[in-house]
Amino acid sequence: MAKIKCDKCSKEIETWGVVTVCPDCGADLQDQVREAERVTVAKAAEMVKDESATTHEFIVRTRGLTKVYKMGEVEVPALRGVDLDIRRGEYLSIMGPSGSGKSTLFNMIGGLDKPSSGSCFIDEVDLAQLTAFELAWLRCRKIGYIFQTFNLIPVMTALENVTLPMIFAGMSSDEMLERGRMLLELVGLGDRLNHKPFELSGGQQQRVAIARALANSPSIILADEPTGNLDLVTGKEIIALLKELNVGSGVTIISATHDLKMIDVSDRVVHIRDGQIERIERRSEIELQVGRLGEEEAG
């Protein structure tokens, strides 16, 4: 959230980036909002690096999040009251066995599903309060999604897949192509622009998905088991790429996973079991335990 001042009527507005016109005089405040956001991001990036700081700006907060799925007559609780604060610029992994509710939590944070009770805030905005239009706006510009199954649009080329969110964002086509090329180059696919998804390997498809997630400069990247369908080496490459993005641009990365390789790069690891947070570990604490976890995995 940032405070900005209108040029025309000097009204002070608090915004989360959703409001970009002055409510009083209707002036376009796009630039001011962008600038304010940039400053906040920069500040937050500083803060995250400083582990000793006690005040962090939280980009995602959940309060008492629950979700119950109805399977016919039976009610299956997937989440049972999750309170989680995620800092701006953080690399957070949500870990847990399958069926523990991590994908459900991922869906709640991403605004893909509605919680049965409780609330989820992104940049202090309660997702439940958003209209369909605002929610789409949020998904389009604030959040980039990466999935286990890549979910590229099969009939589109790599470049078209990456530029699709930019079409929704109303970017001009020249700008779109230039940025699409740049992003694919960034993920190391500069020579695969016009390949269809089925002509790409799993790792390459996931790279396209990462480029697509970055299309509209999101502040959060949500990754649901991004390495789940990849072999060990490719998975490592994808994790390294995500970490580079996290460090290089300060984008917050939230990743649901049960891939232990993720631990190495995560700032914090949230362990989920039976729809509740079991424990949250910091990087410094984890490093001591990696050996033990590794043994557990082997056994």
Partner 1 sequence: MINVRELAKRATETRAEERLGRQISLPWAAAVNIAIRNVTIRLGRAAITASGVVLGIAFLSYIWTAKVCQDAIEHDLARKARIAEIEQKAAEGQVIVPGAEEAAEEAQARAARQSWLVVMSLLVCAVGISNSMLMSVTERFREIGTMKCLGALDSFIVRIFLVEALLIGLLGSVVGVVLGHLGGLLMYSWRAGWDLPAKISWPAMLTYLAASVVIGAVIALLAAILPAVRAAQMPAAAALRSEI
203 near partner 1, rule: CB under 8 A: no
Give CA–CA dist 61/59, Å, rounded: 7
Rule CB under 8 A: which of 1-40 touch partner 1?
20-21, 30-31, 34, 37-38
Residue of the chain from 77, 118, 188, 228 that contacts partner 1 (CB under 8 A): 188
Residues forming beta bridges with residue 86, ordered by sequence position: 60
186 near partner 1, rule: CB under 8 A: yes
130 near partner 1, rule: CB under 8 A: no
Token pair 């959940």 is at which residue? 62
Token pair listed for 294 = 């590794």
SS3 content of the chain, % helix, strand, coil (to 5): 40, 25, 35
125 near partner 1, rule: CB under 8 A: no
Between 121 and 150, name the residue whose CB sits nearer to partner 1: 150
CA dihedral sign of residues 84, 90, 95, 290: negative
Q: Are 222 and 145 in contact (CB under 8 A)?
A: yes
* φ and ψ at residue 70, rounded to 5 degrees: -100, 115
Between 72 and 299, name the residue whose CB sits nearer to partner 1: 72
Rule CB under 8 A: which of 218-277 touch partner 1?
241, 244-245, 247-251
- 3-state SS, residue 13: strand
Token pair listed for 44 = 């937050």
Between 61 and 139, name the residue whose CB sits nearer to partner 1: 139
Rule CB under 8 A: which of 83-112 touch partner 1?
107, 110-112
Between 22 and 269, name the residue whose CB sits nearer to partner 1: 22
Tally Cβ neighbours within 10 Å of residue 250.
18
Give CA–CA dist 105/72, Å, rounded: 22
Between 20 and 229, name the residue whose CB sits nearer to partner 1: 20
Footprint of partner 1 (CB under 8 A): 20-21, 30-31, 34, 37-38, 107, 110-114, 132-133, 136-137, 139-141, 145, 147, 151-156, 164-165, 167-171, 175, 182-183, 185-186, 188, 190, 212, 214-217, 241, 244-245, 247-251
